[in-house]
Structure 1
Amino acid sequence: MRLTKYKVFVCACVLVCVYYFFGVGDYLYSKSFDNEFDYPLNVDLKPIVRDVLSGRKPRIAPINYYPYRFLSNSGKCNTIEKLDLFIIVKSAMHQFGHRSAIRQTYGQENLIPGRIIKTLFFLGIDNNPKSDIQKRIDQEMAQYKDIIQIDFHDNYYNNTIKTMMSFRWLYEHCSTADFYLFTDDDMYISLNNLLDYVHDQTVKNNWERDSATSTVGEDKDNHLFAGYVFKSAPQRFKTSKWRVSLEEYPWNKWPPYVTAGAYVVSNKSMKVLYVGSLFVKHFRFDDIYLGIVAKKVGIVPKHCDQFHFYKKKYSKADYADVIASHGYDDHDELIRVWTEQNKVV
């Protein structure tokens, strides 16, 4: 009897540990995303966004304006020329080598004849404004004039702040580009393939808009929010760095979202996503946050197989149609691969 009671006690302890460690209760008690999704603000944002973009006062006050300042600026948009593409690189302060490699590869602004392309790096700050890293960044900004630094503490859980502050800068200072590419600083990027892709999508959107079979009243405003799209559920494991509690997000699925490594948005989508974000509660994972905003403003993320979430094994032939591939921490490798793919035959 004592042995049996002991076994029952041990089994109960194991079950309790499993229950809490794997967040079983969170999975069991999560709400249905399909039937009950109502992430704040729980209102129809589409007419509110239209009011703001039309210069009218919104009927509801914004709830999510980040109280940070741009510590530097850039004259990248001080031109009467219409931009084909603006590249926004989310970079960490210490990644000097990453930024240098990008300036030697896809960040070159006179790379493609007949195309006007600009590139900026967006950084946060550390706790010491007089640190050696900050002094080097000050020198880098003076030399290249391609860094926008923002006065928020730069860490993983503040990526949403970096992303939405970059959206704000674009909205306020550079709202005329046809398309915007957002990318991490460890990505391989092919601008030729990207421009071919957005051209094809524009032609397709225009055809659908003008087609007699288009649904009356359907929004055909050339929205594009594309990259590697995930459809997944929150992690509830207690020890996971991606754990999300029911208090933070009570639903059993995420909305479809484009992974943050690299994605492209059209001019219209950039503006709608930014304005929409002012009325959507902050969430600490930037790709999921943009997925939430996209759902609430009626933009459907588009999956593109040419964006690779994982690092695609390199061969010259296999990279012929790649737009983006993750995992290029080796600067020499990025330069070597990019150079081979961009040799003029």
Structure 2
Amino acid sequence: MTLRYGSVHSDRPYSCYARHPLQSQTKTCKITMDPVSKPEVVVNDAYPLEGSTVTMHCNLQSGTEPIQFLWQYKALSGNTSTFAQNTSEITLTVQRRDTGWYRCLVKNLVNSVQSDQTLLNITYGPEFPEIVVTPLAVAERGHVALEQETVSLFCKAKSNPPSQYKWFYNNSQVNTGPQFTLTDILRTQTGDYTCLAQNSFLNTRSKKSISLTVYYPPDGLPSCSVESTFEHTYLRLFCTWPGGFPTPTLFWSGDLVDQEAVNPKTNTAILQYSQGTASNNSQFRCQGSHIALNQPTGCQVKPYSPAGEPQCSAYVTSNTQTLMLSCSWDGGHPKALVWWRVQASRAKVDRRHPTS
């Protein structure tokens, strides 16, 4: 007699009768078909480390053979698949993608039963952290921020169980949790920021550091000045704007002989006025800009010559022993240089000094 799976009854036995011509009595035998009991999945490690080996058993108390086994896996996404059959024991080398629910199904000629789901939770990490800086600005040596900005640092490191986070500023702990916010950041907060990710279950850790530089503007406004140089045959223009990081950009404009005369390192410009390139109407402007300021700013200077002509005078000292000569040419910016020239019998003597 051939029976199909699931068509056999278990409430009464099946009897087999046999007779032989040389035997006077009919022989019998009986078989009772027991249903399979509800199986149980037993795992040697429910929280295995990624890359380790896990063994799962499908245990059941009773059931008449032959018994068939079927293994199913339900991913965290909800998708269910069959990955093994015809065995009550499976061995897996697990990866993080194997995290999910596992169960076994058993059946014989009488019935079929499935086990409860068992969670297999693969542990790993933390991996090398990733730090996201908002707003994002990157320079040659790391991240940058403008003074008085609000800067957010967010750290993420893949891990199971999820990572726990600590923040360090120049090796001193300043915060816990994945996000660290610096409100109205100051120039004194320039430095190294480190995110430490920890997996307390595995007692593992990983960290990453970034360099954050705070840009800040110079103090006040640019300052313009002018002086004579090369024995009062040239004008030297000065533009200074101290402080600030990085160094501000300064640019001279005006009636310059050649814009290449501007020295970007000293922020000075030299103008030769003896050739008529500058007059009392010449005006020069220094424009300053800085990455931490929204608008450029500047200063201006207007050199001019003294009015009239030099004034010469002579007077005798009180003891009538000395004759004093005086020469002045007041006004002008910068001040004029005056000197006396004395024609001697054999040599010419110059005595020069700026007017006071």
The TM tier, using the shorter chain, reads under 0.3
Higher normalized strand content (fraction of residues): 2
Higher normalized helix content (fraction of residues): 1
TM-score (ref. length: structure 2): 0.17
The answer to which structure, 1 or 2, has the higher relative contact order (CA under 8 A, 6+ apart) is 1
